[in-house]
Amino acid sequence: DVKVTQSSRYLVKRTGEKVFLECVQDMDHENMFWYRQDPGLGLRLIYFSYDVKMKEKGDIPEGYSVSREKKERFSLILESASTNQTSMYLCASSWGQGAGEQFFGPGTRLTVL
């Protein structure tokens, strides 16, 4: 069974803290994605990766960075968390070029105080 797991379901951090969100997939997928989901805005792409050590900016990369040191793991980093980064963060993965389906993790609800 296809599985994407995220390290935390809920996270509370303080403004200015460095935050790490981890995502692991067990399907040997080439592509991995980080989205944030906000009411009325849908899913917005933050960063994505096609291969190990490779990353590309999505639509809203400001304030975020990513790391992909191993194929199965994709980390989202908030260098200095701010209150406007309070959101639901979703990780997804998919097979390589041409395939459409993305498989999502359950999400991490991050609150920045």
Partner 1 sequence: QQQVKQSPQSLIVQKGGIPIINCAYENTAFDYFPWYQQFPGKGPALLIAIRPDVSEKKEGRFTISFNKSAKQFSLHIMDSQPGDSATYFCAAKDQTGANNLFFGTGTRLTVIP
* Chain residues that interact with partner 1, rule: CB under 8 A: 4, 31, 33, 35, 40-45, 48, 50, 56, 58, 90, 92, 94-107
Minimum distance from residue 14 beta carbon to partner 1 (Å): 25
* Pick 69 or 101: Cβ nearer partner 1: 101
DSSP β-bridge partners for residue 23: 6, 74
* Distances in whole angstroms, Cα of residue 86 to Cα of each of 14, 19, 37, 59, 107: 11, 12, 10, 17, 13
- When the beta carbons of 17 and 73 are compared against partner 1, the nearer one is 73
